[in-house]
A and B are shown apart, each in its own frame.
Chain A
Amino acid sequence: MLETILVPQVGQDLTEAKIVALHVKLGDTVKRGDIVAEVESEKATFEVEAFANGVVTSLPYKVGDLATVLEPLVILESAGTAKPATVANPKPDTASAQKQTSSNEKISTETPVIENAPANGSVRSSPLARRIALANRLDIGHIAGSGPHRAVVVRDVEEAIAQSGGQALQLSAAASRLTLKTLKNGIGTPILLLHGFGGEIAAWRQLVMSVTTTNPMIAVDLPGHGSSPVAAKAGFVGLVDEVAATLRSLGGEFHLVGHSLGAAIAVALSAHAGIVVKSLTLIAPAGLGATINGNFISGFLSARSEAALAAQMRRLVYDSKNIPASLVGATFAARQASDIVQTQGQIAESLFEGSTQLFSIRNELVNFKGPCRVILGRRDIIIPPAETELAVPAHAALHRVEAGHMPFLEEAALVSRLIVQSVRSGE
């Protein structure tokens, strides 16, 4: 075993000390308490004492040297060790350290993407006027301003919208197989929302209202959900590949917000080539623990009446009034109009076996180095939060909220704020 005696700290801010005496040479045997060297600071001379027994195997400095404080001064091999390990180079390799720093810098100098930047950047306007003009695809340069210095203020934009007949807009997802909806226009990297098993885009509407960033918000119907077709490949990987293809067609850089199965897909996407995930917000994520409430899955899928469906959906929340009747109604109506239950039954079979989840995204989450927040409902009876919590890596921020499996419905304000924080730290 090697014991390294360091050049001592001899002042609060001193980084160097002069070696004025070395009382040992290579091969000497040293006892605990022996004085092995003397070093001098600008104030005084200090003796350096050995704190272990051993044989001197390395002396990086000689008398007269200016030594760096807390670098090795004497290296001892303690008695009874079989074979000395190689003595580490005591001086740091500054060249390679610098190299590493500069390559790190390179990685982090990405310019943020600003979408829909106004044609005329020099127009004076209030921030609110600019935001509303952008959201309505109006060129702020063509609006006459009535504020100080002819700045465009919100009343001017409102007037312009009224004149243009109030156009709405849709995000066009070129070449995408899955259904996408822009829930909010804006500037910056889009926030992409991934719903859970059995859900659809509509699940997010309430949350979107309270997210206060300027970033656009886009939601997708997962394969076999809402109005999206089934995935080409079966199983969890099939779902992830299908969503990945759609995201690449959109430009490939996102803040991801996922719920339950959608959260697991979000994590898996972070490991996908061609997709840059700037932050992850995972709400009651699947794929971290092994357990899922199989009884709920089968009950949810086999509900024939609207009343049975409502009863099952109430299990998703802690306070049953948080499941609006309209959501139950819409889910029920969608089932009547298509064979979606059968499709989702097949998806469930490929993802879950009874009460066991057949996929895990724990490794991908450990490897994700961006900002990550995990939000768990303390009262979740679909995916046990205690089990998920154990699998959350240390670098992810964990938030427990008073909710069931749907914290984004039950604690919308809090979840919105956490999403905003994720997005801010990821920009």
Chain B
Amino acid sequence: MAIESPKVNVPSKELLEKLFFTAYSIRVFETEGIKLYRQGLIRGYFHPYLGQEGIATGACAALSKGDYIASTHRGHGHCIAFGAEIKKMVAELLQKETGYCRGYGGSMHIADISTGNLGANGIVGAGTPLGVGAALAAQVRGSDAVTVTFTTDGATNNGTFLESLNLAAIWNLNFILVIENNQYAVSTPIGDSTRETDLYKRGTAIGVESHLVDGNDPLAVYDLMVEAVKKCRAGQGPILIEARTYRHMGHHVNDPGKYMPEDKLKYYKDRDPVDRARNDFIELGGATLAEIEVIERKIQDEFAAAVEFAKNSAEVSIEEFRQFAEAY
């Protein structure tokens, strides 16, 4: 199956602006976040989504209020694309009481249940059964909500990938599994983890409609997701989408990624998803450079304000934590 670029809809300027806004917001969050990490304001683990922004951006733009997402350890991008507040995310990374999880969760566990964001996950592959579960609860409830689990190529070799996708299939759940194939399981190249590197084929093997898309093309991801969401709501789920992409650096903030071949990295950096969103906005949406500049400035200012908010936020209370522990 060839890489699909359906482009069935004529994109509106608003849509293109939204895609650029989201992709650039993620880019700023990750690059500025890494600087905060280097200066010790952020501690613990930090897995940047740099280079993969197109997938969360395109996929979440196709969802509606009431839908669910479940994410991965590399989850900042999904949160932002699904509408999370930047300041509450930064506050979480800075371990503050005002963060999404009161500083109890951290980078790998940001969730916002009230909006349907079931959370990032530190266990590779765990989001798939959790997402299928959310889709099951929706079906029992008689709701047409769709659940999207973002997972990784590394997770497709985990047992729950088959177990839960199969459950979604036999029960016709409104479930979309987006495999972000960045071609590495931490540092192991995909060819060393599996003999069949076309991961979408795993869905067809168990009767799940499956597609391959260029993950660095936000608009292509969006168009395919719109179709997938429509089919799900019509009772034709689940659907599997493999979005092929590449990281801009190693597995985490301290991994320089020396094992990533330079020519391949260059190939993907030349097809940067944020540049792609910006160009689409200009070429297809007719945006001017001045408009772009205003948007970029707004996003940078919002991040700076979020850092100030987090720095000035209350520290966690140990006494409250002890009380929480007593009732846990």
On A, residues with C-beta under 8 Å from B are: 5-6, 8-12, 41, 43-44, 46, 48-49, 51, 69-70, 394, 397
Contacts and interface: CB of A to CB of B under 8 A. Distances in A.
Given A49-B38, A51-B35, A70-B40, 11 more contacts: A6-B39, A6-B40, A8-B38, A11-B254, A12-B45, A12-B254, A43-B254, A44-B256, A46-B38, A69-B40, A394-B319
Interface in B38-52: 38-40, 43, 45
B interface SS class: loop
A378 B196 CA distance: 67
A48 B256 contact: no
B256 A43 contact: yes
Nearest to A49: B35
B258 interface: yes
A9 B40 contact: yes
Interface residues of B, number: 12
A8 B254 CA distance: 11
A69 B43 CA distance: 12
A10 B34 CA distance: 10
B255 A48 contact: no
Contacts of A397: 319
Nearest to A33: B35
B53 to A, nearest CB: 21
A349 to B, nearest CB: 39
A8 to B, nearest CB: 4
A6 B258 CA distance: 25
A217 to B, nearest CB: 26
B309 interface: no
Nearest to A395: B319
B37 interface: yes
A8 B42 CA distance: 11
Contacts of A11: 254
Contacts of B39: 5-6, 8-9, 51, 70
Nearest to A46: B38
Contacts of A46: 38
A46 B255 CA distance: 11
A51 B37 CA distance: 13
B37 A43 contact: no
Interface string B269-287: 0000000000000000000
A418 to B, nearest CB: 13
24 contacts: A5-B39, A6-B39, A6-B40, A8-B38, A8-B39, A9-B37, A9-B38, A9-B39, A9-B40, A9-B254, A10-B38, A11-B254, A12-B45, A41-B254, A43-B254, A43-B255, A43-B256, A44-B256, A48-B38, A51-B35, A69-B40, A70-B39, A70-B40, A397-B319
A394 B320 CA distance: 11
A48 B38 CA distance: 8
Nearest to B44: A12
A397 B45 CA distance: 33
